[in-house]
Amino acid sequence: MSPAWARQIAAQSLARGETLHIEALLALMTSRLRSILREELVGIYLYGSLVCGDFEFDISDIDLTVALREELDAARFAALDKFHADVLRQYPAWDNRLELAYISAGALRSFRTRASAIGIISPGEPFHIIQAGEDWMISWYALRETGIALQGPPVATLIDPIPTAAWLKAVGEHIRHFRQSVKKPHNKQALSYIVLTVARGLYTLEHERDASKVAAANWLARSAPQWADLIQRALRYRRDPTVDGLPAERLRPQVEAFVIDVLP
């Protein structure tokens, strides 16, 4: 691993065995991606909670962006789909906890002006192709600001600077969409995700910097004490939705009221 990665992993609150487990997983994935993509590979970049100091070994996702010379073709898509399955057979604890995005370097450079194809596998979704552009600004801002190269040049050389004001505008738009989408989830984990994502977005808008879901939730519980109980329950449901017998249909009205009350 790179010196930068070694410093970041050492800063996490992880047991030595957990650290070695993650290092082995990332080493395997990096090696396999180099083998599959060969000359098409530009870089492999780690970002998200594992590099920002708020990673939780038993529930956090691992976020990787893989930059390519060209968009994925059918043959490489199939090879990568098999690669994901192979990794999860070897590391089953990471099923539904890996988020990998495959995007051309040109698309990263031009995402604010045009949509491009991205291959993505994420929690709850199979590997598939989507069209994504400026709607991915929040992810690419985080990638540019915090991403660590496991392979390739520094990620900041691939993504043009993103104005803070544009990022904050995207964060505000993202959390406001929960006014409508709060009616869709059918389980407590999804409803809790809304509560915690809104808290994180509000923290970002207030402080003009990002924070972990836990830190942002605790901040909002202090700032809006009328919602402290719901926020703390959302944190518990994030780990274990069966911690109590409250059905999702009884939680939803509370989450809907929360969203209406706190969103600007």
Which has the higher per-residue pLDDT, 59 or 120?
120
State how many domains the chain has.
Answer: 2
Q: Which long-range contacts (CB under 8 A, 24 or more apart) does 213-216 make?
A: 213/54, 213/238, 214/54, 215/54
- pLDDT score of 52: 81
Q: What is the pLDDT of residue 10?
A: 57
- For residues 44 and 174, membership in a common domain is answered with no
Is 162 within 8 Å of 140 (Cβ atoms)?
A: yes
List the CATH number of the domain containing 60.
3.30.460.10
Last residue of a domain, one of 103, 133, 161: 161
Q: Per-residue confidence at 3, pLDDT binned at 50, 70, 90?
A: low
CA distance 218 to 128: 35
Longest dimension (CA), the chain: 55
Let me know whether 251 and 137 are in one domain.
no
Nearest to 66 by CA among 108, 25, 27: 108
Of the chain, the percentage scoring pLDDT greater than 90 comes to: 80
Do 186 and 97 share a domain, yes or no? no
Confidence at residue 5, expressed as pLDDT on a 0 to 100 scale: 62
* Last residue of one domain, picked from the residues 161, 186, 210: 161
- Per-residue pLDDT, averaged over 191-201, amounts to 96
Domain range for 179 is 165-262
Predicted confidence at residue 158, as pLDDT, reads 98
Which of 47, 73, 30, 10 has the alpha carbon at shortest distance from 159?
47
What separation in angstroms does the CA of 16 have from each of 11, 72, 137?
12, 37, 35
Which range among 18-22, 44-48, 111-115 shows the weakest confidence by mean pLDDT?
18-22
Please count the CA atoms within 13 angstroms of the CA of 185 that sit on its side-chain side: 22
51, 148: one domain: yes
Nearest to 66 by CA among 143, 8, 136: 143
Query: Who's near 118: CB < 8 A, 6+ residues apart?
Result: 101, 102, 103, 107, 129, 130, 131, 132, 136
* pLDDT tens per residue across span 129-145: 999 999 999 999 999 99
Query: What's the pLDDT band for 1 if we cut at 50, 70, 90?
Result: very low
Average pLDDT over residues 203-228: 96
Which of 161, 186, 219 delimits the end of a domain? 161
Give the three-class secondary structure for 239: helix
Residues 10 and 134 in one domain: yes
> How much is the average pLDDT of 212-222?
94
SS3 120: strand
State the Cα–Cα distance between residues 121 and 131, nearest whole angstrom.
14
Residue 16: is its pLDDT beyond 90?
A: no
Could you report the per-residue pLDDT of 19-32, keeping only the tens digit for each? 888 889 999 999 99
Give the global pTM. 0.92
Q: Is the same domain home to 156 and 42?
A: yes
**Confidence at residue 56, expressed as pLDDT on a 0 to 100 scale:** 86
14 pLDDT band (50/70/90 cuts)? confident
Q: Are residues 215 and 154 in the same domain?
A: no
Q: What is the mean pLDDT of residues 206-212?
A: 94
